[in-house]
Structure 1
Amino acid sequence: MFAGKTILVTGGASGLGAALCHVLSGCGANIVVGDLNLDKAQTVASLLGTSAGKTHAIGFNVGDPVAAERAIDETVERFGRIDVLLNNAGTDVTQSIDELSFGDWDRVIRTNLYGPFLMSKYAARHMQDGGHIINIASTAAKRTWPNASAYHASKWGLLGLSHALHAELRPKKIKVTAVIAGGMRTPFLLDRFPDINTETLQDPVNVALAVKSVLQLPEQTVIPEIMVLPMQESSWP
């Protein structure tokens, strides 16, 4: 089903992004690994080299309008098409609103919200025969906790953007899905919270498999939102 399809994964060099690249590459798709860190993106792309599909790495900032458009254009130039865009790149800063600087607020919003807007805007132009945009949100788009105002604002905004694009792009045969992912064993959490109980977190591959299942649905069906939670994490819902 994925053979000949081209999938661009932002934030593809680590964590859930890398898991998505490996799972979807294993299904025969052409994978473009997009990441702020080109070296790491190239490493992931090289590890996918034994799969049936082809790979390519692009280093860019999703929140930069010029770089975002260039990444989409480069993907299409390389493979002739883009079928799936996975807006996975994300960042966070754990600070109270009193401590939070405008620069950090701007960085989080620019990556987590402006980035998916820009990438979706430019990718949709090339999905003439239908396509799929998947936005990786978080339970942070459904609940809140202290010292994460920028992250919550970005993820609540991303969920709203995703549903708005779902409504807007359906007539163009473009599916849009928001993935509400619960805690995962990824550097995003483990590097910042070394004392976290990893047994309550899920393997990012599990979320990648859920994304794969959404992409495998018949073209007559779309899922606007899906929540994927670890069994042992009990704080949500």
Structure 2
Amino acid sequence: MLKDKVILVTGGGQGLGAAIGRMLATDGATIIPVDINQDNLKNIVNEINSLGGRACDYKMDVGDQDNVEDVIAAIIRDHGKLDVVINNAGVDYTKSVDELTYDEWNRVIKVNLSGPFNVAKASYPHLLKNGKGHIVNIVSTAAKRTWANASAYHASKWGLLGFSHALHVEARKDNLKVTAIVAGGMQTPFILERFPDVDPNLLQDPKNVAFTVRHVLMQPEGSVIPEVMVIPMRETSWP
């Protein structure tokens, strides 16, 4: 079902984004990872292509509306279409409210919440032109519960979950699918580089979440999964 689909993955240079690209490439899709770090992008593109897949990277700052529109236009120019958008890019600062700066708050909201809006809005006309398409938003268990020193992250992910469901309602009339994937902790740089003392055995392999992405994309034409949660079996922060 994914053969010859053109799939955009934001934050596609490492971690979950790279795992998604690797997995979907094996189904014959053309993977378009975008990121602000071009070195990471080149690595995953070279890896996918060397294994017989198809991948092409573009530098994108999801928080920059003009840049997003330009990159989407370039993808359409170079590949002729866009079938699937996976909003995965994210940032966080582990700080209390009194320590968090205004710039840090704004950056988290800009990347984690405005970013998916920017990418979805720029992509929507092209998905609409196809007569079908799918937008997948990578949310987080941070949209279901809260912990200390992550107020901006929680605000962005709760907002993203609400945006996903609202867009799902609007998109169905246009035969477009929208899914929110609520992911628990993963063995990715996003967690491991910031919390080096965490036991990786309590986290899930990002390829497990990539498998969930693949699952929602493989649903029959007449069905959509609006929301799904996937968490590690041993994650201690979730009941």
Give the TM-score normalised by structure 2: 0.97
- Report the residue type matching 2:92 in the other structure: D
Aligned position for 2:172: 170
Corresponding position: 1:20 with 2:34: no
Identity %: 52
Moved over 3 A (4+): 50-53
Listed as ranges, the gaps of 5+ residues in structure 2 are none
- Matches of 1:72 and 1:170, distance apart in 2: 22
- Report the residue type matching 1:18 in the other structure: A
Aligned position for 1:225: 227
Shift of 1:50: 3.5
- Matches of 2:181 and 2:198, distance apart in 1: 23
Q: 3-state SS of the aligned residue for 2:216?
A: helix
Shift of 1:53: 4.5
Q: 3-state SS of the aligned residue for 1:125?
A: helix
- Matches of 1:175 and 1:38, distance apart in 2: 30
- Matches of 1:214 and 1:51, distance apart in 2: 24
Aligned position for 1:193: 195
Aligned position for 1:216: 218
Listed as ranges, the gaps of 5+ residues in structure 1 are none
Aligned position for 1:156: 158
Alignment of 1:49-128 (within 5 A): 49-51=49-51, 53-127=53-127, 128=129
Aligned position for 1:203: 205
Counterpart among 124, 139, 142 of residue 140 in structure 1 = 142
Shift of 1:42: 1.5
Shift of 1:3: 1.3
- CA contact 1:68–1:118 (8 Å) conserved in 2: yes
How many residues end up aligned between the 2 structures?
Answer: 237
- Report the residue type matching 2:67 in the other structure: A
Give the TM-score normalised by structure 1: 0.98
- CA contact 1:28–1:52 (8 Å) conserved in 2: no
After superposition, the CA RMSD in angstroms is 0.9
